[in-house]
Amino acid sequence: MPDRSDHTQATLRQSLQGWLWVAPALLFLVVFVYGPALTNIRFSMFSFSAMSLDWDFVGLNNYLRLWNDPKFMTALTNNAIYAAISVTCQVGVALVLAAVLEARVFPNFSANLFRTALFLPSILPVVVVGLVWQLLLTPTTGLIDQILWETGLASWSRAWLGEPDTAIFAVIFVSQWQWTGYIMALFMVAIRAVPRDLYEAMEIDGASGVQQFWHITVPGVRETILIVTIITILGSLKVFDIVWVMTAGGPNHSSEVLGTMMYRAAFRDDMIGYSSTIATVIFFIALTIGLVQIKLQKDR
């Protein structure tokens, strides 16, 4: 029978080995993720500008100021709309598209063509996509406006990116155009992992395509649905690039999201402390979503 102390030593040795293996990654996380996150929380309690080396401690005043800032509610609402539409399109529509393309409804050539066409936008850089769509959406001379005029829909013509009512929706639309195909590809992989026997059995029982979708595909890829939903919501929360390129949060802050608001506070308004406050709020919202994800996975 082995000695108890030998066993403890062996466990410790094994444990130490484990710690050594994860040490580089852990160190990286502490230095580049957790450290800055904690430093950011500290920054959020100060008022200071990029120009000045003087810092004023203001406690929670920056949080109070943020709460009372009308732009904050606009940004939060825009992020929520962004997330809701993204989940609907990138999870709902992408799943349906994937199911249709995998159900062999189309001949192989057509299916491959659709798959490629839908996936293609996701390999383009966001800045390029933003600039191209900006040109397409230009009032009067843009392609979209010209199509509307040529097809007798002139009354629909408007400055999509220049009007407060439509700017954020135009940006969200472009984002869906770019990413729905990418998520569709992820779903296609997940659907292929579902045993074909199940579909064949349902087909023999006379089930329709829709019934197969609801009773086999959806339950079969629910893990992917959960992960993709979380990724999409987190992506919507931290969205910055496409909004900045297409509208820079304008006109008149109507398409502002938390990311652009944070950037503007730091790099345009010289309020680094206030910007850190916005970053902290984003961090805690993301943390909450992450915890919900963990809980949902555990409950499964």
State yes or no: residue 252 binds other proteins (CB under 8 A): yes
Task: Please give the Cα distance from 19 to 10 (Å, whole number).
Answer: 14
State yes or no: residue 9 binds other proteins (CB under 8 A): no
Cβ-count burial 30-39 (b if 16+ within 10 Å, e if not) = eeeeeeeeee
Which residues, including other chains, have CB under 8 Å from residue 93's CB and lie 6 or more apart?
A: 176, 180
State yes or no: residue 52 binds other proteins (CB under 8 A): yes
Residue 274 class from Cβ within 10 Å (0-12 exposed, 13-18 middle, 19+ buried)?
buried
The least distance separating other proteins from the CB of residue 35, rounded to whole angstroms, comes to: 16
State yes or no: residue 150 binds other proteins (CB under 8 A): no
Q: Are 74 and 64 in contact (CB under 8 A)?
A: no
The least distance separating other proteins from the CB of residue 176, rounded to whole angstroms, comes to: 20
Q: Which is nearer to other proteins, 138 or 293 (CB)?
A: 138
- Can you read off the two tokens belonging to residue 194? 């579902």
State yes or no: residue 39 binds other proteins (CB under 8 A): no
State yes or no: residue 139 binds other proteins (CB under 8 A): yes
Task: Please give the Cα distance from 233 to 293 (Å, whole number).
Answer: 11
State yes or no: residue 137 binds other proteins (CB under 8 A): yes
Site string for other proteins, 179-218 (x = CB under 8 A): ----------------------------------------
State yes or no: residue 121 binds other proteins (CB under 8 A): no
Torsion of CA 239, 240, 243, 248, to 10 degrees: 150
Binding site residues, other proteins, CB under 8 A: 47, 49-53, 134, 137-141, 158-164, 247-248, 250-254, 266-270, 272
